[in-house]
């Protein structure tokens, strides 16, 4: 393939969901997927190589996704990276917290099919 693959960072602590999402994204043949299971791993991965888009869970075992999102939004070299929040935390407070940080899309895992996640990623990256 002559076209450059889009780099996606998938931050998810559920190993089964991480596997399924990585497979779904990789099967598209247009994404290079890096994974992180903790907020620390996510920040390290971003520092090593900036992704084109981040899929970010909120409830993580060490530092939560809101802290990661705040960090990204506060850094000149990462604040422009599109982030899609993909979490089962579906309360209004979480939505408002994300909105206060910036203009990020928030998808609720239990209500969103993987094919819709892929579609939203393509929209954010101008691929659809």
pLDDT, residue 45, reads: 97
In a domain, 91, yes or no: yes
Element (H, E) at 83: strand 83-87
> For residue 46, what is the domain's CATH number?
3.40.50.2300
Residues 6+ apart with CB under 8 A from 57: 11, 12, 13, 14, 65, 85, 86, 87
For residue range 7-42, list pLDDT tens digits in order: 999 999 999 999 999 999 999 999 999 999 999 999
56 in a domain, yes or no? Answer: yes
The pTM assigned to this predicted structure is: 0.94
Is residue 78 included in any domain, yes or no? yes
Residue 87 lies in a domain: yes
In a domain, 88, yes or no: yes
Residue 103 inside a domain? The answer is yes
Q: Is residue 1 part of a domain?
A: no
Domain encompassing residue 108: 6-124
List pLDDT tens digits, range 41-89.
999 999 999 999 999 999 999 999 999 999 999 999 999 999 999 998 8
How many domains, in total, are found in the chain? 1
């Amino acid at each position: 393939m002559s076209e450059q693959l889009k780099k996606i960072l998938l931050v998810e602590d559920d190993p089964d969901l991480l596997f399924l999402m990585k497979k779904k994204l990789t099967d598209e043949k247009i994404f290079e997927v890096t994974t992180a299971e903790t907020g620390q791993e996510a920040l390290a991965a971003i520092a090593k190589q900036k992704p084109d888009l981040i899929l970010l869970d909120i409830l993580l075992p060490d530092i939560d996704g809101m802290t990661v999102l705040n960090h990204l939004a506060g850094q000149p070299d990462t604040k422009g990276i599109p982030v899609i929040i993909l979490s089962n935390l579906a309360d209004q407070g979480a939505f408002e917290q994300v909105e206060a940080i910036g203009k990020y899309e928030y998808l609720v895992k239990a209500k969103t099919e993987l094919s819709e996640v892929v579609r939203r990623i393509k929209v954010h990256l101008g691929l659809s």
